[in-house]
Amino acid sequence: MNGFIYNIPTKVYFGDHLNMLAPELKKFGKRVLLTYGGGSIKQSGLYNRIVGEIKKAGLELHELSGIEPNPRIESVRRGVNMCKKNEIDVILAVGGGSVLDASKFMAAGAKVDFDPWLFLSEKRPVKKALPLITVLTLSATGSEMDGGGVITNLKTNEKLGRADDLLRPKVSFLDPALTYTVSRFQTAAGAADILSHIMEEYFTTEPDLYMLDGIMETLMKTVIKYAPVALDDPENEEARANLMWASSWAINGFITGGKTHEWSVHPMEHELSAFYDITHGLGLAILTPRWLKYCLNKNTMPRICQFGINVLGISSQLAPALVAKRAIDQLSDFLFKTLKLDRTLTEIGIGDKDFKQMAQKATRGGVIEGFIPLNADDVEKIYEMCL
């Protein structure tokens, strides 16, 4: 076992607690920058409710809308300028992972004189950041409780991630009812995203805490049990609540424990969505079973079998090679049949022309030290398996 540091101070209001929004904002100051994406929060009435709470409390409201999925550095720059110009005290991000991620780099960018892209491209240190409060409307990225974010620069075809404890939201409002209106596709892609965050930690040959293994298995079972329920019955509170709380715990750092390996599927997917602007969760779904199949060998088989037995309920009486194969097949069936996500890159109009370049970028010219080590050739082969 490796040692580790656990540090997740985000306060979470789970359920309908928006009456506490203004009191929490006020702790950080008077001038609030409200950030959001398209018009969905206006259609749902959430926008009016939030603006009402802010105005009732006498806080000064500024707004930045139009943050796109796979959020762009241009949006971050707009936010940074607004924060500086209006001397914003606290950012209130309302939306899914894209809005939250963009807002994290606005929070950091507001405190420096350089272009915020340098936090991502050069890993410039985050020394200070404005406080961030979030109201989540999509269970997927876990950005509501972690310190990470991913920003896209379409000019350079780059989608880069960065995490820092200072970027962690101070307070997050998680109300499952706010996800009742999430579309079928986004619910499915979100479920694939949550599952991938857990799998990136779970599939390792490193020694690990049994307790964390069990918790990861529980989180995966939670997604597999409730994503189909939410698809069939979008206003099922039990399903939406389980998915929402699982999304936070999949990536807030708890399940990582002392593991040190790199993530594999996320860097491969980031190139896909950097080049083709696809939905992140969909890219992860297409890649994950192929990656597992590519990783399957004598060393990795026990872990894939453990997944099959403990998460998918495959009989432990079968031969390990068969359990492992079934586990990957059942995972594919879940993603492509149950969740009805597209099965191949071909189906979403992506061919092999950029694979070589994407593979180079995904591995940064080196090796991803994940479940098995992957160099650019390996990544290219995995992309090809997705056609």
Residue 129, exposed/middle/buried by CB under 10 A (0-12, 13-18, 19+)? buried
Which of 49, 221, 326, 381 binds its own copies (CB under 8 A)? It is 221
Binding test (CB under 8 A) with its own copies, winner from 246, 274, 345, 376: 246
Q: 376-385 and 265-276 helices cross at what angle (nearest 10)?
A: 70
Q: Does 365 bind its own copies (CB under 8 A)?
A: no
Quick note: the x/- pattern for its own copies over 181-220, rule CB under 8 A, is: --------------------------x-xxxx-xx-xxx-
Q: How far is the CB of 10 from its own copies (least distance, A)?
A: 8
Note whether 12 binds its own copies by CB under 8 A.
yes
**Which of 226, 263, 307, 371 is close enough to bind its own copies by CB under 8 A?**
226
Query: Shortest gap between Cβ of 225 and its own copies (angstroms)?
Result: 7
Query: Residue 257: which residues within 8 A CB-CB, separation 6 or more?
Result: 1, 2, 4, 208, 209, 212
17 forms part of the interface with its own copies (CB under 8 A): yes
Determine if 22 is a binding residue for its own copies (CB under 8 A).
no
Largest Cα–Cα separation, the chain: 66
Q: How far is the CB of 17 from its own copies (least distance, A)?
A: 6
By CB under 8 A, residue 178 contacts its own copies:
no
**What is the C-alpha to C-alpha distance for residues 252 and 233, in angstroms, rounded to an integer?**
28
Distances (CA, A) of 257 to 211, 267, 279, 318: 10, 21, 29, 31
**Of the candidates 221, 236, 243, 195, the residue with the CA atom closest to the CA atom of residue 341:** 195
What does the alpha-carbon distance between residue 42 and residue 176 come to, in Å, rounded to a whole number? 18
Based on the shown chain and the rule CB under 8 A, indicate whether residue 245 belongs to the binding site for its own copies: yes
Helix (H, G, I), strand (E, B), or coil: what is residue 92?
strand
Query: What pairs with residue 355 in β-bridges?
Result: none
The footprint of its own copies on this chain (CB under 8 A) covers a number of residues equal to 40
Write out the residues near its own copies by the rule CB under 8 A: 1-9, 11-17, 176, 207, 209-212, 214-215, 217-219, 221-222, 225-226, 237-238, 241-242, 245-246, 249, 257-258
